[in-house]
Chains A and B, each alone.
Chain A
Amino acid sequence: MKEFKGRVLAGGNWKGEAVVSKGGVNTLATFQKSALKNADKVIVSDQNNKDIYGLNITGKALCLPITIGSTTGGLVIQTVCAMKINPACFLFSEHIDSLAASGIVLAKVWENSDVIAIDMLGKEFLETVKTGDTIEVKEDGTVIVN
């Protein structure tokens, strides 16, 4: 069991499964296929991201350094939050990027989403956590990796 502390962007208590991308997550490429199909879960469609390609990330803790890619990114996050097929938590090892930040803010202000977002968890967080690990997230930004 290892504990990490990050900055709370959108707080909440949560426990569940981690899905880990060591590289930047391309938001549009990741979500677009499932969103376009109006699916009830997100199966990652980013061909360039070997860590998470083909995995279900709905209701999971998506652990990542930052998001990358198209500037539709924020709107895409807002949309999957509105559709309630979003990852339950976005856990960033680095400072959140501008597109993901937009998405989280849009989801909070315009959709009253309960999505959780914590950033600056540190490089060690991403080195420690593995896909399938159980993760506990606390309101104060503590993340416990079991």
Chain B
Amino acid sequence: MQLTPEQQAILDGEKGETLAKVMKTIVMYGDIFGAEKLVPVTHADGHLVTSFGIALMKPLFSTMDALIEAGIQTKGKFTVDPRPLDYENVKCNLLEKLVFHIMYKKQADYEEQLKKVGLRDKDSFTCACYLPEVGNVPKKGDVLSWAESSAVVFANSVLGARCNRNSGMLDLFGSIVGYVPYFGLVTDEGRKATWKVYVKTSKIPEAQILGSAIGMKVMEDVPYVYGLDKFLGTEIDDEVTAYLKDFGAATASNGAVGLYHIDKLTPEAKEQGESLIAEGAKEYVVDDAELERVYKSYPLMWKKKDAKPDLCFIGCPHLTYGQLMKWTENLEAALKSAGRKKVKVRTIMTTPPQVREKFAKTPEYKKLTSMGVKVSSICPLMYTNNPITKSRAIITNSNKLRTYSVARYCKDEKILAVISGKEEI
């Protein structure tokens, strides 16, 4: 890799041993992918995936200590994934609390470390940092040093920014030195699609199942998706943003997709069309039967297979303002038709702190909470990491949460029917 004199000086230790190790990590990482240079991060505000102070992650805390000791900070400020706990809105029994206390006993210390290195503010904990209310929104063509698979795939695909699927720590290191290696999704060539996916369903596919199907098929490749414009139109409005957020998160967690193009819709597909497709691209057709096959392939991981659900998480990734409004409307109607006033299954909806604040000022917030739903900014995934909560029968409409926990995936319609008491699971 060719480094500039300034970059070489950092690598040689002229700005201290710790910063040299940071640069060495970035250079070694880039070398593995044949990167010939480092390029400047043009959207200085980072996003980190690691928000949780799990006691055993000693390498994370010791690296942060080393950075702080050396007086190292990020060039811009950064947002970070959601917090693992919210006792006010996500109640736990004593045993769960005890285990959480042991698991996340480094949380307060870690948040102090984050502040010292460049955390934007105390409300910067969300996986959906790119939503307008949160305001960490890159422009088309911006180069980023982000992690969090769902945020990276959204920034690349929907905003047209450029970011590799960086790991935790690499996201921070790039934000510190202000450079990332030039390879993969940062390059024009790396953004070419190597799969053509044809959506041939009879109605709009459930975003989370379509994303799961495509992720499992293409793995880390870039898909160019035909047929969604029929359902989503050709403009990215709030509703489409929410759809693409959920779709992308499923492609990234059920596979390793960092970028997708939607024909006639996403910015690069609109501009460049089929010239984005690489020669010899493979093909995959998704019809109703294929979606059903994928849906039915999800294993049921509950301890008691015939258990009745006792907790429902909606919002992984965090819900948009529009999604909260829609869930409120749909739940109100479902409860009315079931002849109930409150949800039958304890339900938590998760959303960024800024969206929660905005939503809390609306009459819909009162409606939703009076139906028994709690609105939180917790990370459901971190919550379900507790060995005690793992014995709970949790349902979710998140394919990401399903993948990393024992939660059972249900379609939106089923979730609504179950939590409103219209149907059993």
Contacts and interface: CB of A to CB of B under 8 A. Distances in A.
B33 A32 contact: no
A83 B184 CA distance: 31
Contacts of B332: none
B134 interface: no
Contacts of B57: 75, 79
A48 B403 contact: yes
A96 B167 contact: no
A89 B163 CA distance: 28
B301 interface: yes
B166 A38 contact: no
A22 interface: no
A97 B254 CA distance: 15
Interface string B180-221: 000010000000000000000000000000000000000110
Contacts of B63: 110
Interface string B255-287: 110000000000000000000000000000000
A73 B147 CA distance: 10
Contacts of A99: 165, 167, 256
Interface stretch (B21-29, B304-312, B354-362, B412-420): B21-29
B87 interface: no
B169 A75 contact: yes
Interface of B: 21, 24-25, 28-29, 32-33, 49-50, 54, 56-60, 63, 103, 147-149, 152, 164-171, 184, 219-220, 252-256, 299, 301, 385, 387, 403-404, 406
Nearest to B27: A105
A48 B212 CA distance: 12
Interface of A is mostly: helix
Contacts of A131: none
B149 A69 contact: yes
B56 A36 contact: yes
B301 A102 contact: no
Given A36-B103, A38-B56, A75-B168, A108 B28 contact: yes
A26 interface: yes
Contacts of B406: 47
Contacts, number: 127
25 contacts: A24-B219, A29-B404, A35-B56, A48-B299, A65-B219, A71-B147, A71-B152, A71-B167, A72-B50, A75-B49, A75-B59, A75-B169, A82-B58, A82-B59, A96-B32, A98-B165, A101-B29, A102-B167, A102-B169, A105-B32, A106-B25, A106-B170, A109-B21, A109-B24, A110-B21
B408 to A, nearest CB: 11
Nearest to A65: B219
Contact of A69 (B103, B253, B299): B253
B59 A79 contact: yes
A71 B163 CA distance: 12
Given A36-B54, A70-B149, A71-B149, A98 B33 contact: yes
A28 interface: yes
A73 B57 CA distance: 13
A74 B56 contact: no
Nearest to A68: B256
B403 A26 contact: yes
